[in-house]
Structure 1
Amino acid sequence: MDPRGVLILVAVLVAEIGSVANGNLVFPVERRKRSLSAVRAHDVRRRGRILSAVDLNLGGNGLPTETGLYFTKLGLGSPPRDYYVQVDTGSDILWVNCVECSRCPRKSDLGIDLTLYDPKGSETSDVVSCDQDFCSATFDGPIPGCKSEIPCPYSITYGDGSATTGYYVQDYLTYNRINGNLRTSPQNSSIIFGCGAVQSGTLGSSSEEALDGIIGFGQANSSVLSQLAASGKVKKIFSHCLDNVRGGGIFAIGEVVEPKVSTTPLVPRMAHYNVVLKSIEVDTDILQLPSDIFDSVNGKGTVIDSGTTLAYLPAIVYDELIQKVLARQPGLKLYLVEQQFRCFLYTGNVDRGFPVVKLHFKDSLSLTVYPHDYLFQFKDGIWCIGWQRSVAQTKNGKDMTLLGGTI
């Protein structure tokens, strides 16, 4: 099967990655928890970004939980310097803030040091000119008025009004490669990425979620995944295991030993990783839903996106699911936290008191979601529901199904 048409969902311990990965590149990821209001703002912005990329409309209000974004540390340049970037399967390029940027964030509340990339400070950095093949491919043709001394530009405007603008450079990316027996060794590869010169909106201010940039694991030829695959370094496959309880996890790029994983095909000709969700099961009972509720033709299927925090379901799915989940505890009294989150008092073990939820995808792939995954502890004895009612719709009015990092 063409690896470009398969999404691999992996549930493995980090310690086992050596037996699962063969010649993989490994990016350890970290996560920092933030306040509810900060997470809510992040998810609202995030949905705006992904929806603008697929030309969908955004409506309503976001209802995120107390989880955080995932980021990893990369080495760029020669000698390599460290950069912290958000891991995002919903976008296509790697970009970092550059020295020309006067409004780029200088500090972050994530406990990391931010670094501006300096092309002149790297012995192996080259500016990508607008007449190079990469630039023509990115813009689907020659750029009018291009001259060899003009850099290849990039510009991304997100749904929340934030924007990043700059130019492409080529330099070495340093990463860890698994050689076997759980041992890794540093290697590098020349890649093309964005050098951010102008940032606006939330990208241009220091905040508790400020990072050096974003690494996109999307399907376009401009993504790091596609570039590494094109150079013969790895196969065009990635897997990830994210810990939404303790934080952190791992992204692995490259070959995965088939018996260790299950797969489901991607919906073709989609900008993001869209899959076919067939049904939802709660305590061995399949939810009774309209047959076209997860329609992959008109509704574009279910989007899998690590850059989004939560799981968003169409209203009819959400209502039925919550009713089933709470059926085991009929005496619970629900109340709102910050007028957004449905919460309740509970002092027992949530994994014993609430049902397991299974998501069934095309080709018999099932993903088990445990109570500690879809419930989060707001305070001692206070738990809130992580499933959210979808606030995004396609142009034909269908509610969007979006599964984020908590799933």
Structure 2
Amino acid sequence: MQWSTFSSVNLVMHLLVPLIFFFLSQLQNFCRLYYARIGIGTPSKDYYVQVDTGSDIMWVNCIQCKECPTKSSLGMDLTLYDIKETDTGILVPCNDKFCYDVNGASLSGCTANISCPYLEIYGDGSSTAGYFVKDVVQYDGVSGDLQTTSTNRSIIFGCGARQSGNLGASNEEALDGILGFGKSNSSMISQLAATGSVKKIFAHCLDGANGGGIFAIGHVVQPQVNMTSLIPNEPHYNVNMTAVQVGRDFLNLPTDISETGDRKGAIIDSGTTLAYLPEMVYEPLVSKIISQQTHLNVRTVRDGYTCFQYSRSLDEGFPNVTFHFENSVVLKVYPHDYLFPFEGLWCIGWQNSGMQSRDRKNMTLLGDLVLSNKLVLYDLERQAMGWTEYSCSSSIEVQDERTGTVHIVGSHFISSASTLNAQLTFIILLLSVLSCSLWSLKC
């Protein structure tokens, strides 16, 4: 999981016009780090980036970087972006409106020949710093049932020149960068919407069972999703949580649970692996889970994970955890979702946010542990979001808002179309998932 002032994402991108889909991939391990492959520059080169709805910028490692990873144990070749090797790349000057918006003010000493800098610090202390560039990003758009065609758009993104912590050269399970799909004007979804290419609506379906999934920009009409309002004036995708249920029992929590902790509501974040809860929620929740089996030999392993031995069916032996939100929206998490294997033990994926975050702040942060195997829809046009349980290896239906035509998109059955239909409004990303060790899970 990653908390940041800006954020990054790993994804495979395919674009058409107003609806976009990315197909996700995942390697087999609990570390559900979803990433995608995107093309950048002219001629286009492939980059592998993490898909992150909890951050606002896209960045990739740059040729000038001395502390960037140059190889990965994940099976892909890493690529350093070099603006000199692309015909369409330009530097973003510090007097550009984008730079002003990102920093909230004019930069001291700025002149037209100085590039716009960025600095991103994450919840685990890792950081990325560099400067902004603008270049074309390649996508596949939906051109028919189970068909795509390729196009591109110019996007401003970070050129990472200095990385630290889990983003640095010592990270064996490295990617090329992060793709931010947050709410701010600097995010990719906002940049695309500003050009009229898409509306600010997207969805993802993260396949926790088989790996992979879909990330779609545009109007998903099937499956249908129950929606709850986003909390106004919050930088992330925050929603009002009203209750927490363990099995049949509701936790005894304050009436206004959304005010519990240091930040309003629950944050929904695809760039976070686990789920982080305020202490007053975490303690009784974990206690009720463990109490289901009276003879568990519970132990704490490195980094504070609560683990135990158990050889029977997880779903029969432990309770479901259900989060309740406004407008009767519920999010159910099963034992096979919140328990993960490690060295012959089962470990609990719920974490105490006050103990794990860099700033020691209590918050409710729900990551891939609870989001997998669900179609999650973000509608910034209506300031709402929602989800429904869904098989993410199956197909979804998307609608062209210009023509009303509905097309079928499947995560594993996309073929390439030979011509671009300018009337279609869908973009798709095929997602992948990384495997990583217990100790590399980031908060």
Query: What pairs up with 1:273-352 in 2 under 5 angstroms?
Result: 273-295=237-259, 299-338=263-302, 340-352=304-316
Identity %: 52
Which residue is equivalent to 2:66?
102
Shift of 1:236: 0.7
Where 1:260 maps in the other structure, the secondary structure is coil
**CA offset digits 1:101-139 (Å, max 9, x no partner):** 233211112221110111121121122222332223323
CA distance, structure 1, for counterparts of residue 361 and residue 159 of structure 2: 37
TM-score by length of structure 1 reads: 0.78
**CA offset digits 1:315-365 (Å, max 9, x no partner):** 232232233334443343323344733333322222223222211111111
Which residue is equivalent to 2:25?
30
Shift of 1:373: 0.6
Residue 182 of structure 1 pairs with residue 146 of structure 2: yes
Query: What pairs up with 1:4-403 in 2 under 5 angstroms?
Result: 24-32=19-27, 66-158=30-122, 160-257=124-221, 260-295=224-259, 299-338=263-302, 340-379=304-343, 382-392=345-355, 399-403=362-366
Q: Is the 8 A contact 1:299 1:394 kept in 2?
A: no
Which residue is equivalent to 2:4?
none
CA distance, structure 1, for counterparts of residue 361 and residue 162 of structure 2: 36
Q: Is the 8 A contact 1:391 1:399 kept in 2?
A: yes
Shift of 1:399: 2.8
- Structure 1 gaps of 5+ residues are 1-20, 35-65
CA distance, structure 1, for counterparts of residue 103 and residue 353 of structure 2: 33
In structure 2, the CA distance between the partners of 1:352 and 1:81, relative to structure 1 (3 Å rule), is: same
Where 1:402 maps in the other structure, the secondary structure is strand
Where 1:92 maps in the other structure, the secondary structure is coil
Shift of 1:211: 1.5
Which residue is equivalent to 1:15?
none
CA distance, structure 2, for counterparts of residue 171 and residue 117 of structure 1: 11
Q: Is the 8 A contact 1:234 1:255 kept in 2?
A: no
- Structure 2 gaps of 5+ residues are 1-15, 371-443
In structure 2, the CA distance between the partners of 1:334 and 1:248, relative to structure 1 (3 Å rule), is: same
TM-score by length of structure 2 reads: 0.73
Which of the two has greater helix per residue?
1
Where 2:280 maps in the other structure, the secondary structure is helix
Query: Higher mean Cα deviation, 94-103 or 243-252?
Result: 243-252
Where 1:406 maps in the other structure, the secondary structure is helix
Q: Is the 8 A contact 1:240 1:249 kept in 2?
A: yes
Q: Is the 8 A contact 2:21 2:141 kept in 1?
A: yes
**CA offset digits 1:162-203 (Å, max 9, x no partner):** 432222211111112223412222221111111122333443
CA distance, structure 2, for counterparts of residue 315 and residue 133 of structure 1: 41
In structure 2, the CA distance between the partners of 1:324 and 1:185, relative to structure 1 (3 Å rule), is: same
CA distance, structure 1, for counterparts of residue 160 and residue 287 of structure 2: 47
CA distance, structure 2, for counterparts of residue 220 and residue 359 of structure 1: 26
Query: Higher mean Cα deviation, 159-168 or 72-81?
Result: 159-168
CA distance, structure 2, for counterparts of residue 383 and residue 397 of structure 1: 26
CA distance, structure 2, for counterparts of residue 227 and residue 213 of structure 1: 18
In structure 2, the CA distance between the partners of 1:280 and 1:163, relative to structure 1 (3 Å rule), is: closer
Q: Is the 8 A contact 1:242 1:249 kept in 2?
A: yes
Count of matched residue positions in the alignment of Structure 1 and Structure 2: 355
CA distance, structure 2, for counterparts of residue 182 and residue 285 of structure 1: 44
CA distance, structure 1, for counterparts of residue 261 and residue 364 of structure 2: 13
Query: Higher mean Cα deviation, 327-336 or 162-171?
Result: 327-336
**CA offset digits 1:23-43 (Å, max 9, x no partner):** 531222233467xxxxxxxxx
**CA offset digits 1:32-58 (Å, max 9, x no partner):** 467xxxxxxxxxxxxxxxxxxxxxxxx
Q: Is the 8 A contact 2:354 2:361 kept in 1?
A: no
Taking only aligned residues, the RMSD between alpha carbons, in angstroms, comes to 2.9
Q: Is the 8 A contact 1:191 1:224 kept in 2?
A: yes
